[in-house]
A and B are shown apart, each in its own frame.
Chain A
Amino acid sequence: MIGITTSVNMRDYETQDQSVVMIPENYPKAVKEAGGIPLLISECGDPNELLDILDGLIISGGRDINPRIYGEELHEKTTDIDNQQDEWEVSLIEGAIDRDLPLLCVCRGHQLLCAIRGGKLFQHLPTTKGFEKHGETGGKWSNHKIQLIPGSLIYDILGEEVIGNSGHHQGVFNAGDLNVVGRTTDGLIEAVELQSCRFLISVQWHPEMCGHKEIFERLIAVSSD
């Protein structure tokens, strides 16, 4: 069983301005197509209780993380933060690493992982020197190539080069104690791993949207061991 984190937002749903749990359907579909049982998990209760019942975990994309986590003030383009969600996901990530539970971090999840391992983020790539042309933001998507480093787990899964998508306005500036295993041609850190873990892959792009099913298949294979 693979847990997938979700986000809480306010939406008009059944009744006006209701607090709802949301997750793009691509994530559970990718897990199911790769042979896993997707379970969606939402903020509440003890993260350890959830980790007890899961065989693997995906920290999904979503809103910006609070820059205080990496010791910075809020940039004007960093909005809609949710401290409770940050804290809950940090506990899940730390618990998963402690237990060596297979872990895939995507987009927001990737940024949060890097931040808590001593890294830092660029808070707004379109105004960061050298990354102005990184990709689309603000609800649009673009594609770019990512070079993967031989010897890494993700290289073993996807090969030396993949096309990933880009719809994010923040990016990883420094990955702390993690191994950087993939970058775009502008040098942005797109993939990191912690090679002491059975399976810990963290990516900036969205493998669930790009048909990178091999990542999910490997996650599930390792989770089933």
Chain B
Amino acid sequence: MSSPRPIIGITCPSRPTKWAKWELDAVVIPTTYHKMVSRCGGIPILIPPGSSTEIIDNIDGLIISGGPDISPEIYGQENGKFTIETYPEQDASEIALIKSAIKNNLPLLCICRGFQLLCAIHDGSLHQHLPQTDGYEEHGGWDGNVTEHGVNIIEGSRLEKIMGDKITVNSTHHQGVKDPGSLRVTAFSSHDGLIEAVEIEKLSFCIGVQWHPERIEHVSLYKAFIDSARGS
């Protein structure tokens, strides 16, 4: 008899969306997240924006998913010219969920936007538009385009134990982490040195990554996260 499958909450954005022939506010998220969670042994449930932290008591692991830019106000900046769509309600509920997960040592995996938010609330800051940031102009794809690049992972980190020291990732973001704040950086882009991953070592599992492991075959990272959630 195998142990019960852990329940994994996945946060979602909401935005004006075309639905059949009408347009309305809808919660939307790529199917890649819940499919990967299910494939790696978890029961995925989707958490809409505005959810209270009560949910934390009912799940075994939390994924803060990718999505729209976070409000620069969180890291003490004005909106840059390319930071257009922000969703303060989603920011607020995800910040509360991250804090509650950390406080309760609930396994936490932060992807892309989630990674940037994790850094921002630990006194970090972001580059608001990499294509116009010195040294990062050629970082990778954005605005719907996806490219690949190498990532070097720091020896001795949890991420290195899971994935090894050199990997290839997908890249589809126009913002990036400038300063990780109090978090430990565990990976950098091999071509330009951009921060690609962070972790909080004292927790049972808390990793943030800039890329989208659920869209490529990065099963090891999801499996390690879900194994940790099974134990919690």
Contact = CB atoms under 8 A, between A and B. Distances in A.
A40 B47 contact: yes
B52 interface: yes
Interface stretch (A22-30, A86-94, A153-161, A179-187): A22-30
Residue from B25, B26, B30, B50 having most chain A Cβ neighbours under 10 A: B26
A24 B26 contact: yes
Contact of B28 (A1, A11, A29): A11
A14 B7 contact: no
A66 to B, nearest CB: 17
A21 B24 contact: no
Interface string B190-224: 00000000000000000000000000000000000
Nearest to B170: A15
* In the A-B complex, the 9 residue pairs with the closest CB atoms: A139-B21, A40-B46, A28-B48, A25-B25, A44-B38, A19-B31, A139-B22, A39-B45, A25-B14
A15 B45 contact: no
Contacts, number: 113
Interface string A1-37: 1010010100111111011111111101100100001
A81 interface: no
Contacts of A151: none
Contacts of B28: 11, 13, 20-22
A53 B26 contact: no
B215 to A, nearest CB: 9
B35 interface: yes
B19 A42 contact: no
Contact of A25 (B7, B27, B29): B27
Contact of A37 (B5, B12, B51): B51
B28 to A, nearest CB: 5
Given A6-B27, A21-B29, A22-B19, 15 more contacts: A1-B55, A3-B45, A8-B31, A14-B30, A24-B24, A25-B25, A25-B26, A25-B27, A39-B55, A40-B47, A44-B38, A45-B43, A53-B43, A53-B45, A140-B21
Contacts of B83: none
A188 B217 CA distance: 50
A10 to B, nearest CB: 10
B146 A44 contact: no
8 contacts: A14-B30, A24-B25, A39-B46, A39-B47, A50-B43, A53-B43, A53-B45, A140-B22
Interface string A147-180: 0000000000000000000010000000000000
A78 to B, nearest CB: 14
Interface in B10-64: 12, 14, 17-22, 24-32, 34-35, 38, 43-48, 50-52, 54-55, 58
Contacts of B228: none
B144 A21 contact: no
A20 B25 contact: no
Contacts of A140: 21-22
A61 B66 CA distance: 26
Contacts of B157: none
A111 to B, nearest CB: 15
Contacts of B55: 1, 37, 39
A52 to B, nearest CB: 9
A32 B50 contact: yes
A11 B48 CA distance: 19
Residue from B14, B45, B58 having most chain A Cβ neighbours under 10 A: B45
A16 B44 CA distance: 24
B105 interface: no
Nearest to B112: A14
